[in-house]
Amino acid sequence: MRYGLWRKVMTETRKLVAILAADVVGYSRLAAADEDRTLARLRALRSDLIDPTIAVHNGRVVKRTGDGILVEFRSVVDAVRCAVEVQNGMIERNAGLPPERRIEFRVGVHLGDVVEESDGDLMGDGVNIAARLEGVARPGTVCLSEDAYRQVKARLDLAVADLGPTQLKNIAEPVRVYSLEVAAPAPAKSGHSTEPATPESSIRLSLPDKPSIAVLPFNNMSSEPGQEYLSDGIVEAITGALSRIRSFFVIARNSAFTYKGRAVNVRDVGSELGVAYVLEGSVQKAGNRVRIIVQLIETEGGAHVWTGRHDGTMDDIFDLQDRITEQVAGALQPSIRIAEIERSRRKRPQDLGAYDYAMRSMPHVWALEKGESAKALELLDKALAIDPAYPLALSLAGWCHAQRSVYTWADDIGQSQAQAQMLAERAAELSGDDPLILAVLGTVHTFVRNHGTARVLLERAVAIDPNSAWAWSRLGWLDNYGDQPERAVEKFERALRLSPLDPMNFNNYVGIGSAHEVAQDYDKAAAFYRRGLEERPHASWIYRALASSLVGAGRLEEAKEAYAQVLRSFPALTVSSVRRAMVFSPAAVDRLVDNLRKLGLPD
């Protein structure tokens, strides 16, 4: 008996965790009506929505029970965010379906004491309360115990209903229950504006609830001219690697690079970007030797958290990058395992020359201007001549060809679309777990009107790298193309928050303008299009949308001025070429071309 008791103690662990319990409302009814279709939809939801969302928020699936699931999280914040994202995803997926065919979840979240058995199963009141909370939740909502609600009440932007002390089945004492209305925003707080964002509005950035970092451009200390691309490439690799560690909040590269060549105060950087840490460094190259010095600085007080010096050769430059990334992760959050660093590594080219050309193409790729895109393709062709199987160069070249189709730069739009798809799919075959490559492939599928495939790829990209501002932006455009303007604005605003100083943000403002145009709110659309043009005056393709929106708003004189700008850059533009290039819904394209016809656009 004593041996059995000791053995039981040794194989059980007691701990405090956040528990999420969920099941399908009316599963028996759905299965009875069409069991095969219901099971197929559930499997698709698990692979495309539920499991990736759990992984993003660091959850562990304890068990699945037919239509139900029990998940363990390290924090209530992660559990609630996961629940809300899944419920929001279900609202989108159920749109347009009759009520009797909708799959709806009810979710309960509790913070409590549990016993973990040797096989990983969880037992105890903590699990029972979470399961009972799920039972009292209405379809599409999330019910929290008072213990769980206390952890997140200051962070919620949703309407919350206090259900009061509730007697849960087989639970001795009443539990105070709070219900989150996922589709309803929280009431406005005193002193805060409830007006929607405008092009002129600014946001005071608060620190995220996870270690947050901006990797600033490294100083190029090389005596050899023209070596800046080397330091830029190292920063790119470190930023990308850290971004794929889900427990970090990482500012996107483009925002951080706005500080290049400037003397900066780390406190100002912390305030402007909303981060607790900055990573600074320098790169010195002499011949084949490289020295990299890196320092991690806390932005509030300017304290140096960690400093490292790394010497190596150009032959092992990627090993140096890996060591720096590993040490930064350790300084920020000691509990991160080396395995997470291993998962964060990119697939790299074997030939550094191809890498050089790809790095040099980057600013031209993201300019979204005809001449710049052509320069990028020249550099990427050189990279692919050296290494034809370099996934990054293939994907960037695919994106450049996609630009040629959607912005009507190409004489043969169909040929550009086919070239873009071929290059992007080849990149995905070689490196299918790289979020940038998945985002490019998703974007290309968007432009050839494979919107379902595009969404799968883009959602997979943000599941792997939740800090990918560009992937969130492309999801916003996909919502615009699917006549979901409100959801599109949410994603563009998320991209702006992830990378608040990004030179590509002009495209997010254009995306918000496009969302307002889809919603036929033409005055707001024109305001955001003008904001995009203020940031990127040479992106002349924006005038096409601006002219259309001004017609819709009844501002014909301004529309004529915008249309004149269109003709300067696209003198051969016709209704048929616009229809071939635009991938919006037929109704949205009809409104666009009808407005442009009023300004004289020929068929």
CATH number of the domain to which 38 belongs: 3.30.70.1230
Band of residue 317 on the pLDDT scale cut at 50, 70, 90: low
Residue 160 within any structural domain of the chain = yes
Q: Which residue has the higher pLDDT, 514 or 449?
A: 514
Same domain assignment for residues 164 and 285: no
Residue-wise pLDDT tens digits, 185-242: 445 444 343 333 444 433 346 666 566 788 898 887 776 666 677 777 778 777 877 7
Residue 85 within any structural domain of the chain = yes
Q: What is the mean pLDDT of residues 16-33?
A: 88
Q: What is the CATH number of the domain that holds 442?
A: 1.25.40.10
pLDDT of residue 486: 94
Residue 473 within any structural domain of the chain = no
Same domain assignment for residues 332 and 412: no
pLDDT of residue 352: 53
pLDDT of residue 155: 66
Q: Which of 288-292, 293-297, 455-459, 498-502 has the lowest mean pLDDT?
A: 498-502
Same domain assignment for residues 175 and 96: yes
pLDDT of residue 528: 94
Same domain assignment for residues 229 and 248: yes
Same domain assignment for residues 271 and 372: no
Band of residue 19 on the pLDDT scale cut at 50, 70, 90: very high
Please give the residue range of the domain that contains residue 30: 2-185
Residue-wise pLDDT tens digits, 138-149: 888 899 999 888
Query: Using an 8 Å Cβ cutoff, are 229 and 209 in contact?
Result: no
Q: What is the CATH number of the domain that holds 230?
A: 3.40.50.10610
Q: How far is CA 125 from CA 129, 152, 175, 568, in A?
A: 6, 21, 12, 71
Q: At residue 474, does pLDDT exceed 60? A: yes
Q: Which of 322, 362, 364, 368 is nearest to 343 (CA)?
A: 322
Same domain assignment for residues 36 and 175: yes
Residue 200 within any structural domain of the chain = no
Band of residue 74 on the pLDDT scale cut at 50, 70, 90: confident
Q: At residue 337, does pLDDT exceed 60? A: no
Q: What is the mean pLDDT of residues 18-32?
A: 89
Same domain assignment for residues 322 and 350: no
Same domain assignment for residues 143 and 17: yes
Number of domains in the chain: 4
Same domain assignment for residues 141 and 6: yes
Same domain assignment for residues 494 and 369: no
Q: At residue 353, does pLDDT exceed 80? A: no
Q: Which of 156-165, 417-426, 470-479 has the lowest mean pLDDT?
A: 156-165
Same domain assignment for residues 135 and 11: yes
Q: At residue 299, does pLDDT exceed 50? A: yes
pLDDT of residue 205: 62
Report CA torsion sign: 37, 38, 43, 46: positive
Residue-wise pLDDT tens digits, 380-392: 998 899 888 888 8
Residue 192 within any structural domain of the chain = no
pLDDT of residue 380: 92
Same domain assignment for residues 171 and 44: yes
Residue 204 within any structural domain of the chain = no
- The residue out of 326, 343, 360 marking a domain boundary is 343
pLDDT of residue 210: 62
DSSP 8-state symbol, 100: G
Q: What is the mean pLDDT of residues 503-526?
A: 92
pLDDT of residue 333: 44
Half-sphere CA count of 603, side-chain side, radius 13 A: 0
Q: Which residue has the higher pLDDT, 350 or 89?
A: 89
- The residue out of 343, 369, 390 marking a domain boundary is 343
* Alpha carbons 242 and 341: distance in angstroms, whole number: 8
Residue 164 within any structural domain of the chain = yes
The mean pLDDT value of the chain amounts to 80
For the record, the structure tokens of 221 come out as 């200390």
Residue 305 within any structural domain of the chain = yes
